[in-house]
Amino acid sequence: MDKAHSVPPSQPAPPAIDQAEAERAGRMLDRLADMAMERAEAMHVASLAAIKAGDTAAAKDLELSLDRAGRCVRRALALKLRLARERQEMADKAAAQARDRAEEKAERRRQVARAVDRSIA
C-alpha cells in the first residue's frame, strides 16, 4: 500500500518591489519626517513662549503636540532604516544565491569533464 507523498505547496513569492517605487516611498518618508520635524520645532518655540508667559495649560498642550511630532519623526526614520536594511538583506541573499548557482554550474561542468575524460580513456 503505497501512499502518495504530499508535497507542501510552495509559498508564493512576494511581489517584486520596483526600484522606482521604493525610491518614491523613501522620498515620501523623508518628506513626512521633514514636515514632522518642522512641526516639532514650531511646537518647541511656541511651548517655550507659553512657559515664559506663564500659560501652563497652553505649554502642556504644546508639549503634547511636540511629543507626538517627535514620535512621528522617530517612526519615519526607523521605518526608513528598516526598509534600507531589508533591501540590503535581499540584495545580499540574491548575490549569495547567484554565487551558489554559479558554483553548482561549475561543479556540474567539472563532473561532465571528468565523465568525458573517463569515457575517452
Between 13 and 39, name the one with better pLDDT.
39
The span from the CA of 54 to the CA of 72, in Å, is 28
Residue 27 has which C-alpha cell? 522620498
Residue 10 pLDDT class (50, 70, 90 cuts): low
Q: Which amino acid is at 104?
A: E
pLDDT digits (tens, 9 = 90+) for 71-116: 988 998 999 899 889 989 999 999 999 999 999 999 999 999 999 9
**Average of per-residue pLDDT across 4-32:** 72
Report pLDDT for 5.
52
Residue 79 has which C-alpha cell? 521605518
Could you state, in order of their start, the residue ranges of all structural domains in the chain? 20-92
Angle at 101 between CA 117 and CA 93, to 5 degrees: 160
Residue 75: alpha-carbon gap to chain centroid: 13
| 40 neighbors 69 (Cβ within 8 angstroms) | yes
Residue 120 has which C-alpha cell? 575517452
Report pLDDT for 109.
96
Residue 15 pLDDT class (50, 70, 90 cuts): low
What's the 3-state SS for 51-111? HHHCCHHHHHHHHHHHHHHHHHHHHHHHHHHHHHHHHHHHHHHHHHHHHHHHHHHHHHHHH
